[in-house]
């Protein structure tokens, strides 16, 4: 699960905070040190791709100073039957409990929350910049775009240390066949640590990489998600390149 830091508080306050009890039905490894957890979707629960939930563990067998609640972006698409969230595995009480939780265990969720969603208008191209576990809202958006045949022009730049560390890498590549207006650029920052081969981009997301792949860096709308330091750096780079602040939407993900 990607734990969300710096979520738009106004969005949270304005959201309808419905509460549900949901059942854990599956978990699987989606990258090194990264697990996806799937929950039964409650009746009547609707959301938009890019929104998040608060997930609460009722009466966990252990806890610590970080508490029993986390905010997680929904990685599944609105068209999918299950609710999926994804997390990097850190040694916290919350994650230890979640990892050992028997299937069928009930947890509490609140949501959906947030407004980090695709615009209704498809007039302007959208550039999605993701680092690591920050890919989850974009996975939801792209799966939904494929299902609904959305006309939005979407270009995803996805940064990880190496391919083994990149959740949903193959799926995001394959979605290009289903979405004619979507292109995918993955880059690896520590490819020398990989056991496999890699022929794509290497190095950090920066102005030079964007200009290699975009016809005009000033014209798109930008959605940026990843570690707070990455988000801050990309926001500054885009503003210095002439992108207006209003055209940059960001979220910083904690929990690494």
Model pTM? 0.92
Question: Per-residue confidence at 255, pLDDT binned at 50, 70, 90?
Answer: low
Residue 141 has pLDDT above 60, yes or no: yes
Rounded to the nearest 5 percent, the helix, strand and coil shares of the chain are: 25, 30, 40
pLDDT 10s digits, 26-51: 999 999 999 999 999 999 999 999 99
Identify the structural domains of the chain with CATH numbers, from first to last.
Answer: 3-113 (2.40.30.10), 126-254 (3.40.50.80)
Exposure class string for 168-189: b at 16+ Cβ within 10 A, else e: bbeebeebbeebebbebbbbbb
pLDDT 10s digits, 169-193: 999 999 999 999 999 999 999 999 9
Query: What is the per-residue pLDDT for 175?
Result: 98
Please tell me the distance from the alpha carbon of residue 77 to that of residue 47, in angstroms, as a whole number: 9
Query: Mean pLDDT across the stretch 119-144?
Result: 97
Query: What is the per-residue pLDDT for 36?
Result: 98
What is the average pLDDT score of the chain? 92
Residue 256 has pLDDT above 90, yes or no: no
Residue 25 has pLDDT above 70, yes or no: yes
Query: What is the per-residue pLDDT for 252?
Result: 78
pLDDT 10s digits, 196-254: 889 999 999 999 999 999 999 999 999 999 999 999 999 999 999 999 999 999 987 76
Query: What is the per-residue pLDDT for 16?
Result: 54
Question: Per-residue confidence at 163, pLDDT binned at 50, 70, 90?
Answer: very high
Q: Return the percentage of the chain with pLDDT > 90, whole number.
A: 87
Cα separations (Å) of 91 from 17, 34, 75, 88, 256? 29, 12, 22, 10, 10
């Amino acid at each position: 699960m990607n734990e969300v830091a710096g979520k738009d508080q106004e969005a949270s306050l304005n959201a309808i905070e419905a509460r549900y009890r949901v059942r854990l039905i599956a978990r699987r490894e989606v990258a090194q040190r990264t697990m996806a957890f799937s929950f039964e979707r409650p009746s009547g629960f609707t959301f938009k791709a890019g929104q998040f939930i608060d997930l609460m563990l009722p009466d966990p067998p252990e806890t610590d100073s970080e508490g029993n609640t986390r905010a997680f972006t929904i990685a599944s698409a609105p068209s999918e039957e299950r609710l999926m969230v994804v997390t990097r595995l850190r040694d916290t009480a919350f994650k230890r409990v979640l990892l050992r939780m028997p299937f069928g265990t009930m947890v509490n969720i609140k949501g959906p929350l947030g407004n980090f969603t695709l615009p209704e208008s498809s007039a302007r191209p959208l550039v999605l910049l993701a680092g690591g576990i920050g890919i989850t809202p974009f996975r939801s958006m792209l799966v939904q775009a494929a299902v609904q045949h959305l006309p939005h022009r979407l270009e995803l730049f996805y940064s990880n240390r190496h391919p083994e560390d990149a959740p949903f890498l193959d799926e995001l590549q394959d979605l290009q066949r289903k979405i004619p207006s979507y292109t995918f650029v993955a880059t690896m920052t520590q490819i020398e640590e990989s056991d496999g081969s890699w022929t794509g981009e290497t190095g950090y997301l920066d102005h030079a990489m964007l200009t290699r792949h975009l016809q005009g860096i000033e014209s798109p709308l930008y959605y940026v998600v990843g570690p707070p330091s990455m988000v801050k750096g990309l926001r500054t780079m885009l503003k210095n390149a002439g992108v207006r602040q209003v055209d940059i939407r960001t979220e910083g993900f904690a929990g690494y």
